[in-house]
Amino acid sequence: MTKKSPSTADALRAVMAEHSLTYPDVADLFRVSPKTVESWLCSPDAGMHRVMPARHLELLPALLPSFLVEREAREADKAAAAAAEPKKKVKRAG
């Protein structure tokens, strides 16, 4: 019995799960739309299904480290901005 090699979609799903990547994250990485990512990951029976180019998987190890660093920096900036905002006082009815 031969073991089926994982599809590009399966490989992409595994990377997405490992690094908590969203469709928009993957779209940013490959400079495609989130709809394109959706078409790569949907069921092969779906009318919108497209096979992800293998070259994208080949590029992923080179693209991912800098993307993850940039994402972490963006999240830190958002957290710092949120912490710097003055707290709004809530008026209580009474």
- pLDDT of the residue at 2: 47
Higher pLDDT, 64 or 84: 64
| 8 Å CB contact between 64 and 29 | yes
Q: How far is CA 49 from CA 7, 66, 69, 70, in A?
A: 13, 29, 31, 30
Residue 84 belongs to some domain of the structure:
no
Residue 82 belongs to some domain of the structure:
no
pTM for the whole structure: 0.74
Q: How confident is the model at residue 86 (pLDDT cuts 50, 70, 90)?
A: confident
d(CA 27, CA 49): 16
- pLDDT of the residue at 84: 87
Mean pLDDT confidence for 38-54: 92
> What is the extent of the structural domain holding 66?
8-77
Query: What domain count does the chain have?
Result: 1
Nearest to 10 by CA among 36, 37, 41, 35: 41
